[in-house]
A and B are shown apart, each in its own frame.
Chain A
């Protein structure tokens, strides 16, 4: 593979890697994650009455 072809492939690969990652980033985060965070915060609040 010549250097130019390698660069061309690298560009295509990078574009696609970003697209793969971006498409996932743009997905809505399912509610279960917010529920889990809320649960963990609640446990903290109960665990230490004075907070931190």
Chain B
């Protein structure tokens, strides 16, 4: 079956995309066991649909599309269950992350996990996986403007949550800035 004269079978190239698929899946599920299940389901679905893959187009984006469609369809099926998981998650996340004045990766991950899934996926696709806005929009089946606005809202929310989780106010020393940043948080801060 292997023939050096034919272009590489996309089936053979799937393996190269496994690490990225696992990373993307982890950002959606926030749980590595669930992420691996999702990647496995994605591979099986991709395999059944390879006749629909256009050779020469972006295989990773195609696989990511299947992955996220699988994720959202599972999410709809298990909606109640997932909401419970999110509720449990949110309560553990309400503890203040440990802080030493710098932004620790573990703290970032906790805060990132609190974002709505649409914002997490947009941020990961464009901010981390290196996709263009256009590729991310295609992958998610939405307009480029939608991706941009999800990213902007995600960033704003992250900055807000990270600021809240930070005892030392990070390196933002400018008092005017602090006043602006804190103005929305007076209730919480004064309660401490």
Contact = CB atoms under 8 A, between A and B. Distances in A.
Interface-central residue, B19, B20, B129, by most chain A CB under 10 Å: B19
A19 B127 CA distance: 10
What is the interface of chain B mostly: helix, strand, loop, or mixed?
A: helix
Interface residues of A, number: 35
B117 interface: no
Given A16-B105, A37-B15, A27 B43 contact: no
Contacts, number: 97
A46 to B, nearest CB: 12
A13 B26 contact: no
B172 interface: yes
Contacts of B177: 1-2, 5
Given A13-B158, A18-B128, A27 B22 contact: yes
B128 A9 contact: no
Given A33-B15, A37-B14, 18 more contacts: A1-B177, A1-B180, A2-B174, A10-B155, A12-B103, A12-B162, A13-B158, A17-B112, A17-B124, A18-B127, A22-B128, A24-B22, A26-B19, A30-B36, A33-B40, A36-B43, A40-B44, A40-B47
Interface of B: 1, 9, 11, 14-15, 18-20, 22-23, 26-27, 36, 39-40, 43-44, 47, 103, 105, 108-109, 112, 123-124, 127-129, 155, 158-159, 162, 171-172, 174, 177, 180-181
Interface of A: 1-2, 5-6, 8-10, 12-14, 16-27, 29-30, 32-34, 36-37, 40-41, 44-45, 51-52
